[in-house]
Amino acid sequence: MSLDNNSARVALGTFLAGAAVLFSGGEAALADGSTTKFSLPPVGQGKDRCLFKSSAMGQANAARDKLYDLRECDMSGKSAAGFDLSGVIASEANFSKGDFKEVVMSKAYARSSNWEEADFTNAVVDRVSFDGSSMKGAIFQNAVLTSTSFTGADVENADFTEAYMGDFDQKNLCKNPTLKGTNPVTNADTRASAGCRSL
Ligand SMILES: *[C@@H]1O[C@H](CO)[C@@H](O)[C@H](O)[C@H]1NC(C)=O
């Protein structure tokens, strides 16, 4: 392994560990959905890395034996149902119409991606940042959405029926101007499904 790979791995490991020191800047940051800045390693080469792989070791704390990098991958329409995708770097990629039912996705970096009509029914989505992503028509029925953020994400037509989220996250979601519409699959009213108090 080259020194560069090593440094990248150390940087990501730190990001996943929860109290990251930014790779170049040296500022402290929390690795959860509300973090504003991450420093990511360079995008991995080759599309053979574009596969859904369940973590055999990480579970809730996102430990992986190596970098799980799905950046710039076209995963649209693919199924990861039941997989542990914890720690995945899933930005700038296409996950539209993907099957994420019952996945465990803890500490993932899922910004600026296409998650349109992705189905996260019964999933555990913990400390994930979907900031700036398109979540149009995504389904989060009965999902756990703890410390997961949708800042600047397009959540039109998404379904949050029976999703569990903390008050803070729910307040933020309710402030999202795109929280409207009706899910084309479940017919759920988006805003009502998120349990927002007022319109
Ligand atoms: C993503 O996948 C969907 C479904 O296959 C496709 O319609 C869309 O054009 C793709 N690309 C992007 C950049 O969203």
Query: What's the predicted TM-score (pTM) here?
Result: 0.80
Using the mean position of ligand 1's atoms as its centre, give its distance from the Cα of residue 18 in Å. 32
User: Which residues does ligand 1 sit against, CB inside 6 Å?
Assistant: 76-77, 94, 96-97, 114
3-state helix, strand, coil in the chain (%, to 5): 15, 15, 65
Q: Give the number of the atom of ligand 1 that is nearest the alpha carbon of residue 97.
A: 4
Question: Which residue is associated with the tokens 């402030």?
Answer: 175
Convert the pLDDT of each residue in 88-139 to its tens digit.
999 999 999 999 999 999 999 999 999 999 999 999 999 999 999 999 999 9
| Domain architecture of the chain: domains with CATH | 30-42+51-199 (2.160.20)
Q: Tell me the CA distances in angstroms from 73 to 5, 149, 190, one per residue in order.
A: 20, 22, 28
Residue pair 105/126 in contact (Cβ under 8 Å)? The answer is yes
Residue pair 87/103 in contact (Cβ under 8 Å)? The answer is no
pLDDT at 21: 31
Residue pair 69/108 in contact (Cβ under 8 Å)? The answer is no
Residue pair 178/155 in contact (Cβ under 8 Å)? The answer is yes
Using the mean position of ligand 1's atoms as its centre, give its distance from the Cα of residue 29 in Å. 32
More confident residue, 39 or 76: 76
The angle subtended at Cα 146 by Cα 92 and Cα 158, nearest 5°, is 60
Mean pLDDT over all residues of the chain? 82
pLDDT at 1: 37
- Which secondary structure element, helix H or strand E, spans residue 81, and what is its range? none
What mean pLDDT comes out for the span 42-60? 75
Residue pair 89/108 in contact (Cβ under 8 Å)? The answer is yes
Q: Give 95's Cβ-side CA count (13 Å radius).
A: 32
Strand-strand pairing, 19-21 and 28-30: antiparallel
Residue pair 98/83 in contact (Cβ under 8 Å)? The answer is no
Using the mean position of ligand 1's atoms as its centre, give its distance from the Cα of residue 50 in Å. 15
Q: Which of 28-32, 45-49, 120-124 has the highest mean pLDDT?
A: 120-124
